[in-house]
Amino acid sequence: MQKRTLGSSGLEVSAIGLGCMGLSFAYGPAMEKSAAISLIRSAYESGVTFFDTAEVYGPFTNEELLGEALAPFRNEIVIATKFGFKNGNVAQGLDSHPDTIRAVVEASLKRLKTDRIELLYQHRVDPNVPIEDVAGAVKQLIEQGKVKHFGLSEAGVQSIRRAHAVQPVTALQSEYSLWWREPEKDILPVLEELGIGFVPFSPLGKGFLTGAIDASTSFAKDDFRNVVPRFNQDNRKANAQLVEVLGHIADGKGATRAQIAIAWLLAQKPWIVPIPGTTKPHRLEENNGAASIELNSADLTAIESALAHITVVGERYPAHLQQSVDR
């Protein structure tokens, strides 16, 4: 697995990371613990050194899982986790007060069985706490050695600039993929200007770009996609054209749809590090295989042309969660 550096920070990670949320949270029942540990360790053995978690995933259980799974090779990997919700519960709303940040970090360190967090993200921008105060609190934690790098998630341009002026931001994590390209308009230029890396979550469109989901697919009752407008039956049917075109491109490269979708992200900028998640060992292997697929300028032009007339329909979040995305 090749390595990449997130922006100008010097934080080196594998070109593809592992998003660990789905092992414990949001996509149906949590994985059985021993199987989840095995998957995480398989990721490490295949070259993944960048693992993404958060206190809200579970809540708390995902960090505990990573702490146990990664302990044997803790010094060889990078852990990213997040703060920003009251009591680690999305339903209770946002809380990025400095005292909360400090308390969350202490608790996360214990769950992760570690003495430092390489990358600490604010999970969502809190409109009730000045971003300068958030950045200042993380700056203190960096000075204490408990945190190494500061990140933001789903932050808008002004929040990024204001935070970066207090404590340099190493990475922004937001959704970005062939079916959600909004960051290209305003976010990517600012990240390039400031020397900030980009960590796309949901690089496979929450599974849709793999081709494994169609209009007839049914999700587990506690699967987050049940409430995502983009995944209602009509929208899945309408968005199938994107998956079909992606399949033709993949066939031409001797790859899978998932591999082309991830390789496309890697080809956009050298400081982009996608973090696909999976619960299946064969999908882990498939996703990581994208790192060895080279898309040249002709390939990228062909992809643009093929997708130019396709409009993806449906909001990516239900209304109550859309409100927490910073603009």
The vertex-199 CA angle with 184 and 267, nearest 5°, equals: 60
Of the candidates 27, 57, 121, 176, the residue annotated as catalytic is 57
The owner of tokens 């613990």 is 33
The CATH number assigned to the domain with range 3-322 reads 3.20.20.100
CA distance 131 to 97: 10
Tokens of 317: 């979040």
Known catalytic residue: 44? no
Asked if residue 96 lies in contact with residue 122, where contact means CB atoms within 8 angstroms, the answer is: yes
Asked if residue 116 lies in contact with residue 77, where contact means CB atoms within 8 angstroms, the answer is: no
User: Checking DSSP bridges between strand 18-19 and strand 50-52, what pairing results, if any?
Assistant: parallel
CA distance 261 to 177: 7
The whole-number pLDDT of residue 153 equals 98
pLDDT in tens, the chain (327 residues): 999 999 899 999 999 999 999 999 988 889 999 999 999 999 999 999 999 999 999 999 999 999 999 999 999 999 999 999 999 999 999 999 999 999 999 999 999 999 999 999 999 999 999 999 999 999 999 999 999 999 999 999 999 999 999 999 999 999 999 999 999 999 999 999 999 999 999 999 999 999 999 889 999 998 989 999 999 999 999 899 999 999 999 999 999 999 999 999 999 999 999 999 999 999 999 999 999 999 999 999 999 998 888 899 999 988 777 767 876
The vertex-86 CA angle with 125 and 205, nearest 5°, equals: 55
The whole-number pLDDT of residue 85 equals 97
Alpha helices by DSSP H, the chain: 33-45, 61-70, 98-111, 131-143, 157-166, 187-194, 233-253, 257-268, 281-288, 297-307, 319-322
The whole-number pLDDT of residue 238 equals 87
Edge-to-edge, what's the strand order for the sheet holding 169-175? Answer: 18-19, 50-52, 78-83, 117-122, 147-153, 169-175, 197-201
Question: What amino acid is encoded at 63 in this protein?
Answer: E
Asked if residue 131 lies in contact with residue 162, where contact means CB atoms within 8 angstroms, the answer is: yes
